[in-house]
Amino acid sequence: MKTMYKLFNLLMLIVVVISCSHCSSTNDLQKNPPFDLEKVYYEYWTSGVSGGGSGINVFIELKKEFVQLDSIYFRGKAVSLEVKPGNKKLFIGRILYPPSNKFDRKLSKESLNEYNNKAPIIEINTFYNLEQDECVVTYESRGEIKYYKITNMVEKRRHDVPMTSMATKN
């Protein structure tokens, strides 16, 4: 067990060192990106099914179909952006939160009893001081990865539609 603990700590140290060395090259935010934003907003969602999870969808719409956005960093999470089918100017980032389950880990004095425990989800430190309504988007320009900070994102509230039973309809 001590060997596993030391190995885990060594692995975490390596990840931190690599992240810090990568930080100096990626911390250069662009002031004038080669695209104009039409709308940027996000909305929370929850599954209507018990244990179905929840998340945040981030929407970035460009004024012109000009550049391919790659990914976003938002609230400690990094996700790839997808292009909405039928609208090549609208990019969607889907941040998923797994369903909370009180019984998802076994704690025991015997390490073999903890074998099937899931690894914890670790938030990514992007080395940017982002507010709750800010994200960093990555895109490629002339073969180089660039970073642009989007501020003043709008939170749109999703209208919940109650689930109804077919038996209750007349």
Does a structural domain hold residue 111? yes
pLDDT for the residue numbered 139: 93
Does a structural domain hold residue 165? no
Does a structural domain hold residue 57? yes
Does a structural domain hold residue 169? no
Burial 5-25 (b: 16+ CB within 10 A, else e): eeeeeeeeeeeeeeeeeeeee
Give the predicted TM-score (pTM) of the model.
0.66
pLDDT by residue (tens digit) across 79-136?
999 999 989 999 999 998 877 655 566 667 777 777 777 666 666 665 677 888 999 9
Is 125 in contact with 19 (CB distance < 8 Å)? yes
Q: Which structural domain, as residue segments, surrounds residue 153?
A: 2-159
Cα dist. 166→49, 52, 161 in Å? 16, 21, 15
Q: pLDDT band for 161, please (50, 70, 90 cuts).
A: very low
Task: State the chain's mean pLDDT as an integer.
Answer: 77
Does a structural domain hold residue 71? yes
Does a structural domain hold residue 97? yes
Does a structural domain hold residue 170? no
Number of folded domains that form the chain: 1
pLDDT average, residue stretch 139-147: 89
Does a structural domain hold residue 167? no
